[in-house]
Amino acid sequence: MQELISQAAEIILRSKLTLALTGAGISVESGIPDFRSADGLWSKYDPAEYATIEAFQADPEKVWQMLRDMEEVVASAKPNKAHIGLGELEKMGYLHYIITQNIDNLHQEGGSKNVIEYHGNSSTLSCIWCGKRYKTEEKRDEFPPKCECKKILKPDVVFFGEPIPAEALNRSFQLASSAEALLVIGTSAVVSPANTIPTIAKQNHAKIIEINKERTHLTDSITDIFLQGGAGAIVESLVEEVKRQGGGNHLM
């Protein structure tokens, strides 16, 4: 494993544009189960009934039963070693952007600034009727949280049936097509359109470093280095190795 970490660090040190693509697996160590896992949100709530934009428009009060459960889990979560390590890599100038499918704001709390969010972020709420926005924190004691116009607020997360923000999509495709290295962390990369990012990067001859607990369809097709295990410990070791080989900072 140490040999593989050393090779991965070398790739990161040589790369002029390094991206990370992250999914639910990176936040599991922060206490947020993958929505699709056995104890995840979708085992309790049918996403077709609770997580579509149509369901929210038709009965926001009902959808907030599911959102409250989600909110409780997310609100108590803290960034783990993987989030903090990626924040450090960015500060040192070795990681340029994170493309995440997560809505938990943990990358930002872990120190990352350049975060492209595919599915939005649960730290703010919007009124889909009048457009006013609030911080989730401000409405923590209201259930369901309401706008001044008396309508029920929606968290700024992408529901099923809503498009992924065009800006996030375009920017990530643009970056992937010129990346020299891509870290794939905590995602099986099966959900579209995030699953196209590794392929786009690979077509541009980027080196793919995959960090996952289990092998994925990427492992034997396009991954160059597969680091198997929990994201926290592996990212921490990788950051240490980058520091060791890089001999300090290389701020952009």
Answer yes or no: 119 catalytic: yes
Task: Give the tens place of pLDDT for each residue, 94-139.
Answer: 999 999 999 999 999 999 999 999 999 999 999 999 999 999 999 9
Q: Please identify which of the residues 107, 119, 205, 250 carries the catalytic annotation.
A: 119
Instruction: Label the pairing between strands 154-157 and 120-126.
Output: antiparallel
Compute the Cα dihedral for 237, 30, 164, 88 and give only its sign: negative
Q: Which domains does the chain have, with CATH numbers?
A: 1-32+78-119+164-252 (3.40.50.1220), 33-76+122-157 (3.30.1600.10)
pLDDT tops 80 at residue 251? no
Task: Give the tens place of pLDDT for each residue, 58-94.
Answer: 999 999 999 999 998 898 999 999 999 999 999 999 9
DSSP symbol at 153: P
